[in-house]
Amino acid sequence: MGIEPEHEVASTPREALAQTGWLRSVAADTLDRLAKQAVLHRVPAGSTVFEQAETPAFALLLVSGNVELLAVRGTEETLVEFVLAPDLLLPAAVLNSQPYLLRARVLGEARLVMIQAETFRETVASNLDLCLAVLACQAAQFRRQIKHAKNLQLRSVEERIGCYLLKIIEGTSPGTPVKLPLEKRLIASQLGMTRETFSRTLATVARHGIRVDGDVVCLEDAAAAGIRFQLDPLIDGHEPMRPIRIKRN
């Protein structure tokens, strides 16, 4: 199938850093320094990357795959953040040398660059470009978190589902079938509800022009859907990660 990958898959930590878009403005020797003692790790489906309350030993850069960040109490788990590559996993904990507040678990398979925490802190603390890049990354994560909170607190289950699906089929001409990007149970947890509620509510959403059949969504009535489910850029908008451009005096 994939005869022509967009670019070579990184096989060393250094290559992985070089391919990370939001590190573009960071000088090569700074990346060298980060990569110095780093390793590129393949993580199998379902593994836990770190545990709540652990003190970070590494800064973790997610190069490919998805990671769930879960709040844990006893046996209970609830999703707090869903991380897409490429991104840092909870940089705040690493920067402040404080314990992780969440458990990280990968979906599917993931690749991670593991950078010594101390190396990471020192390099950030001595290089402005990197510091700005990390700041932009952290800022974007913060805003995503706020959007997530707003989604949960301001919308009902039905609206959350409707908007989620609408975003997926946005732009396609009505009738085009689109595959769901995740298993339903994962979508449910991202939207802050149980599997059962998700399943049930799909039926009522269908009555507003968005039909889900198996793992395929299909917009049946754009007008009806648009009336019932209003996408809000301050909730549903994509959060870009753009470091501030430096003006050298």
Partner DNA sequence: CCTCTGCATTGATCCAGATCAATGCCGTGC
Partner DNA sequence: GCACGGCATTGATCTGGATCAATGCAGAGG
Task: Sort 153 into a burial class: Cβ within 10 Å, 0-12 / 13-18 / 19+.
Answer: exposed
The single residue listed with the structure tokens 């309350």 is: 53
Enumerate residues 6+ apart whose C-beta is below 8 A from 100: 50, 51, 52, 53, 54, 55, 56, 90, 93
Q: Does 7 bind a second copy (CB under 8 A)?
A: no
Q: Does 150 bind DNA (CB under 7 A)?
A: no
Q: Which of residues 59-118 bind a second copy (CB under 8 A)?
A: 71, 73, 76, 78, 80-81, 91-93, 95-96, 98-99, 101-102
Contact segment (CB under 8 A) with a second copy among 12-20, 175-183, 211-219, 241-249 equals 241-249
The single residue listed with the structure tokens 């840092």 is: 88
CB 12 within 8 A of CB 114: no
The residue within the footprint of DNA, chosen from 19, 52, 138, 199 (CB under 7 A), is 199
Contact segment (CB under 7 A) with DNA among 128-136, 177-185, 217-225, 233-241 equals 177-185
# residues near DNA by CB under 7 A: 18
E strands, 142-186, in order: 177-179
Enumerate residues 6+ apart whose C-beta is below 8 A from 20: 61, 63, 86
In angstroms, what is the minimal distance from the CB of 199 to DNA? 4
In angstroms, what is the minimal distance from the CB of 171 to a second copy? 22
The residue within the footprint of a second copy, chosen from 11, 37, 126, 204 (CB under 8 A), is 126
Distance, in Å, from the CA atom of 232 to the CA atom of 107, rounded to the nearest integer, reads: 28
Tokens of 115: 């950078």
**Coil, strand or helix at 76:** strand
List contacts with a second copy (CB under 8 A): 52-53, 71, 73, 76, 78, 80-81, 91-93, 95-96, 98-99, 101-102, 121-122, 124-128, 131-132, 134-136, 138-143, 145-147, 149-150, 153-155, 192, 234, 240, 242, 244-249
Report the interface residues with DNA, using CB under 7 A: 156-158, 183-185, 192-200, 202-203, 214
